[in-house]
């Protein structure tokens, strides 16, 4: 097979994965606290001196051997909602929540109360207070100061836990706006950011930028597909026509 087929196929597969990533970013453009994914590529020159895990060719051909998907943790735009159960983090850090799989971390602050008055996420997971305890809200007037101290009708009811991790973050997505440490032994540290009541952090996805990347990647995929077809046609001609010469 023509060795030029391999870079075309590997590039086409990489483009497909990038299209999936961009589509997911665009689908979550209105998800509070969502952090977009980005992708970078590493190329490898295929040849006898440094062969990749594909059949070797006689010439050095660029192979898209590995793509690196990483999370952009830049803050989304914060907007006022006037909902007393909406919270945003001003600065670095995450809310700690209790999920069936253990503690997860998020910047999605559109909370609500459950039937028993527990402060929970939109998915129903309890928001952790100091020491990991759940926060109970039973009353009418809810006030939260910049340190996360929750007061209900003037009586303190707990403190919303805000934690942070050493940078660069090594977190893994377990949901569109939830993260866990890639290292299970990693321990969060107390965050220094302030809590804003009545505000909500939006997604950090830039729709215009993502649409430009979507068009660019789609055209790149089409170019790779044409290249694959071209190499396939050359192989077909070599097999069917050269023998008659």
Q: Are residues 160 and 231 in the same domain?
A: no
- Residue pair 188/163 in contact (Cβ under 8 Å)? The answer is yes
Is residue 128 within 8 Å of 97, Cβ to Cβ?
yes
21 Cβ neighbours under 8 A, 6+ residues apart: 37, 38, 39, 69
Domain end: 185, 201, 217, which one? 201
For Cα atoms 11, 174, 25, give the angle at the middle one, nearest 5 degrees.
50
Domain that holds residue 17: 5-74+205-244
> What is the count of structural domains for the chain?
2
Same domain, 38 and 84: no
Give the per-residue pLDDT at 37. 94
Is residue 125 within 8 A of residue 105, CB to CB? The reply is no
Q: Which of 216, 232, 228, 230 is nearest to 9 (CA)?
A: 228
Does one domain contain both 87 and 173? Answer: yes
Phi, psi of 141 (to 5 degrees): -90, 115
**Residue 55 and residue 99 in one domain:** no
Residue 144 neighbours by CB distance under 10 Å: 22
* Strands 112-113 and 119-120, sheet pairing: antiparallel
Instruction: Specify the pLDDT at position 46.
Output: 45
pLDDT at 51 over 70: no
* CA 123 – CA 131 distance, rounded (Å): 22
Residue 61, both tokens: 């051909």
Question: 61 and 112: one domain?
Answer: no
For 69-78, what is each residue's pLDDT tens digit?
899 999 999 9
User: How many percent of the chain have pLDDT more than 90?
Assistant: 59
Write out pLDDT tens, residues 20-49: 999 999 999 999 999 999 987 655 444 444
Phi, psi of 216 (to 5 degrees): -60, -45
Say whether both 95 and 157 belong to one domain: yes
Same-domain pairing of 143 and 33: no
Per-residue pLDDT, 159 = 93
Q: 70-122, pLDDT tens digit by residue?
A: 999 999 999 999 899 999 999 999 999 999 999 999 999 999 999 999 999 99
Of residues 227 and 149, the one with the higher pLDDT is 149
E strands, 108-154, are: 112-113, 119-120, 142-144, 149-152
Cis-peptide into 153, omega within 30 deg: no
What pLDDT score does 45 carry?
Answer: 46
């Amino acid at each position: 097979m023509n060795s030029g087929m391999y870079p075309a196929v590997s590039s086409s597969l990489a483009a497909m994965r990038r299209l999936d990533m961009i589509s997911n970013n665009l689908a979550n453009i209105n998800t509070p606290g969502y952090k977009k994914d980005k992708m970078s590529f590493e190329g490898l020159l295929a040849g006898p001196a440094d062969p990749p895990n594909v059949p070797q060719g006689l010439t050095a051909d660029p192979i898209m051997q590995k793509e690196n998907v990483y999370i952009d943790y830049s803050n989304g735009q914060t907007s006022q909602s006037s909902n007393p159960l909406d919270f945003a983090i001003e600065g670095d850090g995450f809310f700690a929540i209790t999920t069936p799989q253990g503690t997860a971390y998020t910047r999605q602050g559109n909370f609500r109360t459950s039937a028993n008055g527990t402060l929970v996420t939109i998915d129903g997971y309890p928001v952790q207070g100091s020491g990991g305890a759940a926060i109970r809200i039973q009353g009418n007037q809810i006030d939260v100061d910049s340190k996360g101290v929750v007061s209900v009708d003037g009586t303190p009811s707990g403190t919303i836990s805000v934690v942070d991790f050493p940078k660069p973050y090594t977190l893994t997505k377990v949901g569109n706006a939830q993260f866990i440490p890639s290292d299970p032994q990693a321990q969060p540290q107390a965050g220094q950011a302030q809590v804003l009541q009545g505000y909500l952090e939006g997604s950090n996805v830039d729709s215009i930028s993502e649409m430009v990347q979507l068009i660019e990647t789609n055209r790149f995929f089409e170019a790779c597909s044409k290249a694959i077809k071209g190499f396939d046609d050359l192989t077909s001609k070599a097999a069917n026509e050269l023998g008659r010469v």
